[in-house]
Amino acid sequence: MTKIKHNYVWLAIVILSLVPALLWLLSPSLLPRLGSLRAVMSDLGQLAGLIGMALFSFSLILSARFRFLDKYFKGLNNVYAKHSLIGQVAFVLLLFHPLLLLFKYAGGSFSGAMLFLSLSSNWPKNWGWLALVLMISLIVLTLYLKPKYNIWKWTHKFLGLSFFFASLHVFLIPSDVSRYAPLRFYMLSLSFLALAVFAYRTLFGKYLIKKYKYTVSAVKSLNDNVLEVIMKPQGRKLDFNPGQFIFVSFLDSKVGQESHPFSISSGPSDGELKITAKVLGDYTEKLANLSPGTTAEVEGPFGFFSHKNSIYNNQIWIAGGIGITPFLSMAKSLLDNSDYSIDLFYCLKNESESVYLDWLKNINPKLRVHLFCYDKSGYINIDIINNIAGSLSEKDIFICAPPVMIGSLKKQFIGRGIDKKLIHSEEFNF
Ligand SMILES: Cc1cc2nc3c(=O)[nH]c(=O)nc-3n(C[C@H](O)[C@H](O)[C@H](O)COP(=O)(O)OP(=O)(O)OC[C@H]3O[C@@H](n4cnc5c(N)ncnc54)[C@H](O)[C@@H]3O)c2cc1C
């Protein structure tokens, strides 16, 4: 049983991102400047730049998929949510940085503004513009152009280059950073750390990140749309909690070597590692071409979604479609421990979409499986669950399903007074 601990890492990130503002306030050259409105606006511009850069650093660090952060934030999806949130705040602050500095450098004239806003022989300033233009282009691409996932993922890496240009700007331009050693040291350390983490994950990840090597022993089609990949360890076996997921890539040109996340569908004490994948797009479509003997590189485990991370052994599991996969691993591990009493609602459009239904129904008397087909009965809701599973109180609820279904059920449970801490969800989407 895992005691739910408060997460102080988030607080630390917020405080550490504000430290540059504190150091800036302590810098000896501040007071003489607080005279005019123009001076105040340009100082606010400096502050926006400093805090924006600090947040940008932490956004890069949170994107590096560190397992200790996965643990502290109780799941990689939470880490990525924080990464995206502080990335957005950093972007807004870094946009305001030049806009507020405009008050000082434009000197109230249009030509002055144009001069400030244009590239020149002043390279310390140019690096700042290049960083911002690259950042704006990548954010517009993400928010408005919405390219295919793998193209988006590739372009998103260029935010590291934008950060590098921004670092050159921060350290080469004459400013409080160049004049006040404590501020300079702090910003230098943060930027260096963020660039080192970026290089570790994005530039040299292939060589530096620990991966387990497995061999594909079989690829089985479970129905028209779902297949299973079974793998045997080449060396050390991956230890994981049932419900966790991995990033896997196959060294097979017919499939492509990109790494994708999949929940582990085998049990922790099984000799083999299994993933069960629904054909969704170009990569999952090609998985059927995988041939036995192919080497798989497995990174993980990740995620906090496990019946073991709960308060009560009485639990309700709700799976939507392919969201059944983490529950397959949890169900398997029930063989080793039958302290649990579980109602599993397996929700599908119709029964032909199901995988492992008979196996689930017979694996453990403490696991009661309820197949729910919405082409017959409409969408599942809290009253249906309540009628079948009985009282909802003192039970942990685990939901792995499409985001809309998770959102709707969470709302219903919370609306019925169920404590948020008892509702755990996993989305197949970061
Ligand atoms: C924590 C987690 C666990 C998952 N477990 C399973 C599982 O057990 N079974 C299963 O069938 N699917 C699972 N998925 C989803 C699976 O990763 C995607 O369906 C697959 O990556 C789709 O790739 P594609 O090229 O076929 O489709 P695309 O059309 O390229 O992508 C469809 C969607 O899949 C997601 N996706 C695609 N590539 C990646 C990637 N490299 N990293 C992260 N997300 C990506 C994106 O949200 C994208 O919008 C899981 C996803 C996550 C985040």
Give the pLDDT confidence of 274-311 residue by residue, as tens digits.
999 999 999 999 999 999 999 999 999 999 999 999 99
Type of residue numbered 31: L
Interval 232-277: pLDDT, tens? 999 999 999 999 999 999 999 999 989 999 999 999 999 999 999 9
pLDDT of residue 337: 65
Q: Is the CB of 150 under 6 A from ligand 1?
A: yes
Fold for the domain defined by 2-207: Four Helix Bundle (Hemerythrin (Met), subunit A) (1.20.120)
**Residue 306 belongs to what H/E stretch?**
none
Q: Is the CB of 151 under 6 A from ligand 1?
A: no
* C-alpha–C-alpha distance, residues 163 and 154, integer Å: 16
Q: How many Cα atoms sit within 13 Å of 65 on the Cβ side? A: 17
Which residue owns the Cα nearest ligand 1 atom 10? 277
Q: Ligand 1 centre from 259 Cα, in Å?
A: 10
Which residue owns the Cα nearest ligand 1 atom 26? 281
Which residue owns the Cα nearest ligand 1 atom 27? 281
Residue 20: which pLDDT band, with cuts at 50, 70 and 90?
very high
Interval 187-199: pLDDT, tens? 999 999 999 999 9
Name the percent of the chain lying above pLDDT 70. 95
Tell me the three state secondary structure of residue 419. coil
pLDDT exceeds 60 at position 85: yes
245 near 325, Cβ under 8 Å?
A: no
Give the rounded distance of the alpha carbon of 83 from its chain centre.
7
* C-alpha–C-alpha distance, residues 176 and 182, integer Å: 10
Measured CA to CA in angstroms, residue 222 lies from 87, 322, 401 at distances of 40, 12, 19
Which residue owns the Cα nearest ligand 1 atom 48? 149
Give one DSSP letter per residue of 337-374, joined into a string: -TT-EEEEEEEESSGGG-SSHHHHHHS-TTEEEEEEEH
pLDDT exceeds 60 at position 392: yes
**Residue 246 belongs to what H/E stretch?**
strand 245-250
129 near 84, Cβ under 8 Å?
A: no
pLDDT of residue 150: 85
pLDDT of residue 333: 92
Pocket test for ligand 1, best of 65, 249, 260 (most atoms within 8 A of CB): 260
Q: Ligand 1 centre from 281 Cα, in Å?
A: 8
Which residue owns the Cα nearest ligand 1 atom 50? 428
Q: Which two tokens stand for residue 111?
A: 């030509």
* C-alpha–C-alpha distance, residues 218 and 10, integer Å: 42
Q: Is the CB of 225 under 6 A from ligand 1?
A: no
Q: Which two tokens stand for residue 243?
A: 């419900």
pLDDT of residue 2: 45
Q: Which of 95-109, 226-240, 405-419 has the lowest mean pLDDT?
A: 95-109
Residue of 308, 309, 310 whose CA lies nearest to 394? 310
* Domain ranges across the chain: 2-207, 212-302, 314-426
Which residue owns the Cα nearest ligand 1 atom 45? 260
Mean predicted confidence (pLDDT) in 162-170: 97
Q: Is the CB of 74 under 6 A from ligand 1?
A: no
pLDDT exceeds 60 at position 4: no
pLDDT of residue 336: 63
Q: Is the CB of 245 under 6 A from ligand 1?
A: yes
**How many CB atoms are closer than 10 A to CB 98?**
18
Q: Which residue(s) pair with 229 in the sheet?
A: 219, 275
Ligand 1 atom closest to the Cα of residue 264 is 8
pLDDT of residue 279: 95
Q: Ligand 1 centre from 243 Cα, in Å?
A: 16
Which residue owns the Cα nearest ligand 1 atom 1? 428
pLDDT of residue 5: 54
pLDDT of residue 15: 95
Mean predicted confidence (pLDDT) in 223-229: 96
Ligand 1 atom closest to the Cα of residue 326 is 8
* C-alpha–C-alpha distance, residues 211 and 38, integer Å: 54
Which residue owns the Cα nearest ligand 1 atom 4? 262
pLDDT exceeds 50 at position 185: yes
Query: What is the reported pTM?
Result: 0.92
Q: What is the mean pLDDT of the chain?
A: 92
pLDDT of residue 1: 41
* C-alpha–C-alpha distance, residues 382 and 423, integer Å: 13
pLDDT exceeds 80 at position 30: no
* C-alpha–C-alpha distance, residues 260 and 278, integer Å: 13
136 near 158, Cβ under 8 Å?
A: no
Which residue owns the Cα nearest ligand 1 atom 7? 262
Q: Ligand 1 centre from 248 Cα, in Å?
A: 11
Q: Which of 28-32, 323-327, 398-402 has the lowest mean pLDDT?
A: 28-32
pLDDT of residue 38: 80
* C-alpha–C-alpha distance, residues 11 and 15, integer Å: 6
pLDDT of residue 406: 97
* Rg of the chain (C-alpha set): 26
Residue with tokens 């397992």: 67
Name the percent of the chain lying above pLDDT 90. 79
Is the four-CA dihedral 256, 139, 71, 264 of positive or negative sign?
negative
pLDDT exceeds 90 at position 141: no
Q: Is the CB of 282 under 6 A from ligand 1?
A: yes
* C-alpha–C-alpha distance, residues 373 and 384, integer Å: 13
For the domain made up of 314-426, the CATH class stated in words is: alpha beta
Q: Which two tokens stand for residue 138?
A: 């990548």
Q: Which of 30-39, 91-100, 295-304, 317-326 has the lowest mean pLDDT?
A: 30-39
Ligand 1 atom closest to the Cα of residue 260 is 41
First and final CA of the chain: distance in angstroms?
Answer: 27
- Right CATH number for 212-302 from 1.10.600.10, 1.10.569.10, 3.75.10.10, 2.40.30.10? 2.40.30.10
* C-alpha–C-alpha distance, residues 310 and 314, integer Å: 10
* C-alpha–C-alpha distance, residues 70 and 56, integer Å: 19
Residue 301: asked if its preceding bond is cis (omega within 30°), the reply is yes
Burial of 386 (0-12, 13-18, 19+ CB in 10 A): middle
**How many CB atoms are closer than 10 A to CB 357?**
15
Mean predicted confidence (pLDDT) in 219-232: 96
Q: Is the CB of 263 under 6 A from ligand 1?
A: yes
